[in-house]
Chain A
Amino acid sequence: MRPMKGSIALVSLITIAAIVVATALGSVPIPLGHVLGMLASRIPGIRDFVQGDWSVAREVIVLQVRLPRVLLALVVGGGLSVAGVLFQGSLRNPLADPYIIGVSSGASLGATLGLLFFIPQGLAGFGSLPLFAFAGAMLATWIVSRLGQSRGRLDPTSLILAGVAVGAALTAVVSLLMVLKIQNLTDVYLWLMGSLSGRGWKHLAVATPYVFAGVVLALWQAKDLNVYLLGEEAAHSLGIDVQNLQRWVLVLGSLMAAACVSVSGVIGFVGLMVPHALRLIFGAEHRRLILHSLWVGALFLLVADTLARTVLSPTELPVGIITAFVGGPFFIYLMKRGSGYHG
C-alpha cells in the first residue's frame, strides 16, 4: 500500500500547486504570494497569522471569480472523465463518451428552452440554467435507455444507435429553436460550445455532490466492470449480474455527465479522450483507470480552461476549442505509438 500513499500525496501536491498557479493567472495577474495569502486567510487557525496587503477588488477576483471556476474545472474534468470510463466499460466500446446516450443533446435542448423562453437575458439568469439542462439530460437518457432494450435486456448496440437517433432529433429541435428565436442566440451558442466562464460557487455546489458520489460508486463497481469486459456470458459465469451492472453503471454515468454538462455546457473530448488514453497507457483494470481518469481529467480541464481565458486575454475562448485542439493531436500520437488495443 505504500506506493499508493506516496502517489496520493504527490497527486494532491500537484493539484494544489495547479490550483494556486491557475488562480494567479488571468487578465489581471496576481502574485502567487497574494493568492496563497488569500487562501490561507480563509482557513481557520491559520488566518490570524496572515497579513493581507492586497486590495479588496483583487480578493474578490481571486475568491469569488477565479477560485470557484478553477475548482469547477477540476470537478467537471474529473467527472466527465470518470463518466467516460463508465460508458466505455458498460458499453464495452472504447469510442463511447459521456454523451453517447443523449445526455448532451438532452441538456442542450433543456438549456436552449430555458434560455429562450424562461430565463431573463444575460448572466443574471445563469442560476436556474443548470436545472433546465439537467432535466433535459435526464429525459433524453430515459428515452434512450427505453429504446435501447431488446427482449427486456439492455443491449449495448441498440443503446448506441438509439443514442445517435435521439441525439440527432433533439439537436434538430435545438437548431430549429435557434433559427426561430434569433435574439438570444449568443447566450445559447456560447452555452452549446461549453464554457466555464462566469461560473461561481453555486455551480460548484450543483456539480460536486454528483461527481463525488459518482466516483465512489464507480469504484464500488470497479471489480465487476473488469469482469464485464470479458463479455456478458463470461461475466455471468464469473458470478456477475450483468443486467443489473449495466443499468447501474448507465444511470451513474448519466447522472455524473448530466451534472457536469448542466453547469458547463457541452465540453467535448475530455470524457472520450482521457479514459481512452489512460487505458492505452495503464491498461483496462478499472480501479486504476477510474482513479487515474479522475485526476488526469481534472487537471487537463483546468489547464485547458486556464489557456482558454489567458491565451487571447481579455477575450475568452470556449474551453471546448482548447480541449479538442490540444487533445486531438495527443490522441493521434497515442494511437500511432502502437500500444495494442484491439476491441
Chain B
Amino acid sequence: MVEKIRLDGVTYAYGKTPVLQELSLGLQPSKFYGVVGPNGAGKSTLLKLMDGYLDPQQGVITLNDRPLQSYSLRELAQEVALIPQHSHYFPFTVEEMVLLGRTPFYTRLGQPSAKDVQLAQEAMQVTEVAHLAGRLVSDLSGGERQRVTLARAFAQHTKVLLLDEPTTHLDLEHQINTCQLLQKRAQEGVTCLAVLHDLNLVANFCDYVFVLGRGSLVKEGPPTDVFTPELIQKVFHVSVPSLLHPVTGRPVIVP
C-alpha cells in the first residue's frame, strides 16, 4: 500500500543530546495511528519533524514520495496540520481562531472565501464549539480551548493530521468524542497520528501503535499485538495483568 509519510533513518539531537536515533517508519492513508512512550522518548520531536518544523540531522522524510524539504511552507501547510502540545491563547473569537486554520488557502491581503467560512463552520460543529463562535478564546476553559484548537486543525482540511496530546484537558466524554472524530477522519482517507498518554484510548481507537522508548522504536503494530504485559513492563516499568475488553476484545491496561 502507498505510504503518505515515510521516515528513513531519521536522527535528531537538541545540541548534543540525541532525541531520535535512526528512526524509520511509514504512515498510510486512512489510518489512525497512536504514538506512546514515556516522557522524553522523542514523541513531540517526531511530530515536529513530520511537520517540517525541525529538519533531521540525518535521514530523509518524504511526503507523497517527495522529500519534505522540497515543499514550500505554504504547500506543506495545505498537506499537513499540526496541533502542538502547547498553544497560546490571545483574545480572538472562537470563529476567528478556527478561520486561522484556513490561512494557507488565501493570500496575505485577501479575505477568507465562502468555502473557507463554510469549512470553519463545519469544523466548529463536529468539535461542538459552534455555540461558542462569538466568545473570546481567552475566556474559555482549558477543555473548550482544546476543542477550538482541534476545530482549527480540522478546518485546515489536510490529508495528514498530527496531534500532540489532543485529549489532555478534556473530560471523559470529550476525550472519547475526539478519538471518534479522528477515527472518522481516518475513515474518510486522512492519515491521523496522535501522541496520547492514555493507553486505553489508544487500545480502543487506534488502528496501529508506535511505541517509542529513548529515541527509537521499541515496537509497532495493531494495539492487540503491541500492548502485552511484557511490553508495558519493559517500556513503562509498570506491571499489568493481561486483560481484554469483554465487548471489543481490545486490550485493557490497568495496574
Interface residue stretch chosen among B26-34, B70-78, B198-206: B70-78
Q: Which listed residue, B73, B97, B152, touches A239 by the CB 8 Å rule?
A: B73
Name the residue among B48, B81, B86, B103 with the largest chain A CB count within 10 angstroms. Answer: B103
When the two chains form their complex, are residues B91 and A234 in contact, meaning their CB atoms are under 8 A apart? Answer: no
Residues of A183-238 contacting chain B, CB below 8 A: 220, 223-224, 226-227, 229-234, 236-238
Check B80 for interface membership: any CB of A closer than 8 A.
Answer: yes
Closest to B136 in A: A340
Partner of B84, one of A233, A285, A340: A233
In the complex, what residues of B have CB within 8 A of residue A33's CB? none
Binding site secondary structure of chain A: loop
Q: Please tell me which one of the listed residues B77, B101, B109, B156 contacts residue A220 in the complex, with CB atoms under 8 A apart.
A: B109
Report the separation of the CA atoms of residues A241 and B71 in the bound assembly, to the nearest whole angstrom: 13
Which of A236, A279, A283, A284 lies in contact with B73, CB distance below 8 A? Answer: A236
In the complex, how many residue pairs between chain A and chain B have their CB atoms under 8 Å apart?
A: 90
Q: Are B76's CB and A239's CB within 8 A?
A: yes
| A283-B77 contact given A230-B100, A236-B53, A237-B82, CB 8 Å threshold | no
The chain B residue with its CB closest to the CB of A231 is: B88
In chain B, positions 61-96 with a C-beta closer than 8 Å to chain A are 73-74, 76-78, 80-84, 86-93, 96
Whether A283 lies near B81 (C-beta < 8 A) is: no
Given contacts A283-B136, A340-B136, contact A237 B80 (CB under 8 A): yes
Query: Are B138 and A231 in contact, CB atoms less than 8 angstroms apart?
Result: no
Taking residues whose C-beta sits less than 8 angstroms from the other chain, chain A's interface range is 20 to 34
Q: Knowing A223-B103, A236-B51 touch, does A230 contact B88 (C-beta < 8 A)?
A: yes
Chain B residues 39 to 66 lying within 8 A of chain A, measured CB to CB, are 48, 51-53
A220 proximity list for chain B (CB < 8 A): 108-109
Contacts of A280 in B (CB 8 A): 91
State the interface size on chain B (CB cutoff 8 A).
Answer: 37
**A229 CB contacts on chain B under 8 angstroms:** 88, 90, 92
Query: Does any Cβ of B come within 8 Å of A2's Cβ?
Result: no
Q: Chain A residues near B80: list those with CB within 8 A.
A: 237
Q: CA–CA, A285 to B74, complex, Å?
A: 21
Our pick among B82, B96, B109, B156 for the contact of A233 (Cβ within 8 Å) is B82
Write out the residue numbers on chain B whose beta carbons fall within 8 Å of the beta carbon of A238: 77, 100-101, 103-104, 156
CB pair A233 B91 closer than 8 Å: no
Assembly CA distance A181 to B126 (angstroms): 70
Contacts of A240 in B (CB 8 A): 73, 103
CA–CA, A341 and B93, complex, Å: 12
A-chain residues with CB within 8 Å of residue B136 when the two chains form the complex: 283, 339-340
Apart from A234-B84, A239-B74, A339-B91: 5 A-B pairs, beta carbons within 8 A = A229-B92, A231-B88, A233-B51, A340-B139, A343-B90
